[in-house]
Amino acid sequence: MSQTRPDAPSRVDQILDLLLDALLERQRARGERLLQPPEAPAESTATEPFIVEPPLPEPEPEPVVVEETEVAEEDESQQLQDLPPSPLLVPPGQMGRTLFRLAVGLLLFVVLVNVPITRHGVSLARVMPDSAALVIRNGLLLKSESSDEIYVLQDDRLRWISSLEAFERLGYRWQDVHVVEESFLDRFERGRPVHVLLKCKGSPHIYRIEREQKRWIKDIPTFEAEGHVWEDVRFVSCQYLRNLPDGPPIPEDAGPPPQP
């Protein structure tokens, strides 16, 4: 059922206008008859009596018939306009706008969940994992809620990654770190830490990077006793090594560490 414009006359108004026009037309016709002069009576003979004919009754205007269906449609339309808008119905013009707002809200939620919020760039999605849903596999990166130490799981053992230098040079990514409860880490044995060894070509000394400090390894027997292999050694510039702060030597009683 099409809706009428607010300024268009309704069906009831049209019917009242028709009735008013008919009444005005009837009054105008009656007034014209009253203004006309009366006709002179025809001359009659003495034998013919004078007969005055009564005026003919005026025809009644035909009543305007209003169909019940039209009146019912007008009443139904008026009732629908009087009803308060339903909060469950969304007009077609606002449906697209509502879907757009939902899509934007979902996009913002996904972005906020994946934005890094910790010092090392771990996102909210990694901070709140379900430990039971983690797949136990080699190479899984784990971190407790109360510590900055990061572990890599290898052969069912947790190996501490001793420095950011080792973390980055071994190709690990911060978005792969899962933050879990301390009790989850306690389920695994501790393995040998993961270290990175640095050396420059202009110096014979080898340093182990641990907690962002360089620790001088005294000699080759100490190097082998610590379980290091030559594949762990990375070459950097001597100036880069000099800029790193000194940590305790290996072993700790080896004396003052030399500079590269």
User: pLDDT tens across 126-183, in order?
Assistant: 444 445 557 788 889 999 988 889 999 999 899 999 999 889 888 999 999 999 998 8
Q: What is the CATH number of domain 97-193?
A: 3.30.2390.20
pTM: 0.47
- pLDDT one-digit tens code per residue, 199-211: 999 899 999 999 8
| Residue limits of CATH 3.30.2390.20 in the chain | 97-193
Q: Are 259 and 199 in contact (CB under 8 A)?
A: no
Q: Tell the burial category of 165 from Cβ atoms under 10 Å away from its Cβ (0-12, 13-18, 19+).
A: buried
Q: Are 114 and 124 in contact (CB under 8 A)?
A: yes
